[in-house]
Structure 1
Amino acid sequence: MSEDKSTKAVALRYMASFATGDPDQVAANVTEDFVNTQTGALGKGCETREVYRGRLKGFLGSFVGLKYEPVDVIENGGKVAITYRMRAESDGHPIDIPGVMVVEVRDGLVAGRQDYWDGLTFLQQTKQA
């Protein structure tokens, strides 16, 4: 059976790859010229697969049991908007952060990601605010 390369399927596979905790598996879902845009005040964007892969190690290492759980998925051409719940444990604190990710798909890979999430919720749940 061949892998589903629809925009929605590619975006959902990308989100699910975070649960592996493996930067290589997450980065395997993105294009060489991938653009990661983080809109949260605590987030930092980056460009290219290699830079992204390097930053993933620290990000994935700071969360135990990280999982993005899709809530709603809206597909429009080569883009998908996914509302989600990001659940994990950070420094012994359970976190549950709602967000929206807009994913652009090109040639069966994620070419761009815009992630909208609330940094204050994260700080409150980890007792930093």
Structure 2
Amino acid sequence: MSDSEANKAIVHRYFEMFNSGDLSRLADIVSEDYGDKLEGQTSGIEVVRSYLKGLKASFPDFTWTIEQIIGEGDRVAVMNRVSGTQVNDFGDIKATGNRVDFAAFQFYRIADGKLAEHWEVADFAKFQEQLTAKPAATAFKSFQNTLKD
């Protein structure tokens, strides 16, 4: 198996672990000083563990579904779907029972057989809209509406 294939397998294991909700083997997949570049995150495996547990507490059926995965060298890029139902509070948002489904793009760096860094771009506007049932008035949507005239 090539390094790129081995790195993609690590990402697959991470997604499978999250989907199952069993984080007991997180240290086998994520480095101790894991650097999550998601907004508001700080580094470290315990931060990631807390974050993942929090997501599963709010959305017990949250799943990450890989739609495309590309690996080159020590980097792996994933286009995926995120979906689940909010049954418990999510930060300041009280439990809604709403189902969410949105796209995300993940970018990982692998070192010594573990995930070392993570960057993410996701459709958080769609997530927010589905969660709060309030249409998001984003600048891009406003721009698109001006083109329809």
Confirm or deny a common fold (TM above 0.5).
yes
Shift of 1:70: 0.6
User: CA separation of 1:52/1:82 partners in 2, compared to 1, >3 Å: closer, same or farther?
Assistant: same
Contact 1:27-1:53 at 8 Å conserved across structures: no
Q: 1:63 aligns with which of 46, 56, 59?
A: 59
Structure 1 gap ranges (5+): none
Q: Which residue of the partner structure matches residue 111 of structure 2?
A: 106
Q: Which residue of the partner structure matches residue 30 of structure 2?
A: 30
Which whole-Å deviations, capped at 9, do the CAs of 1:32-74 have from their partners, x for residues lacking one?
Answer: 1101111xxxx43220112222333222211121111111111
2:10 corresponds to which letter in structure 1?
A: V
Q: Pairwise mapping of residues 1-129 of structure 1 onto structure 2 (< 5 A)?
A: 6-26=6-26, 28-38=28-38, 43-90=39-86, 91-129=96-134
1:104 corresponds to which letter in structure 2?
A: R
**Greater relative contact order, per chain length (Cα 8 Å cut-off, separation 6+):** 1
Contact 1:34-1:48 at 8 Å conserved across structures: yes
> Which of 76-85 and 16-25 deviates more?
16-25
More helix by share: 2
Contact 1:36-1:45 at 8 Å conserved across structures: yes
> Which of 46-55 and 107-116 deviates more?
46-55
More strand by share: 1
Larger Rg: 2
Contact 1:66-1:87 at 8 Å conserved across structures: yes
User: CA separation of 1:118/1:27 partners in 2, compared to 1, >3 Å: closer, same or farther?
Assistant: farther
Identity %: 26
Distance in 1 separating the partners of 2:133 and 2:24 = 30
Question: What secondary structure, in the 3-state scheme, does the structure 2 residue paired with 1:57 have?
Answer: helix
Coordinate RMSD, CA, aligned: 1.8
Question: What secondary structure, in the 3-state scheme, does the structure 2 residue paired with 1:6 have?
Answer: helix
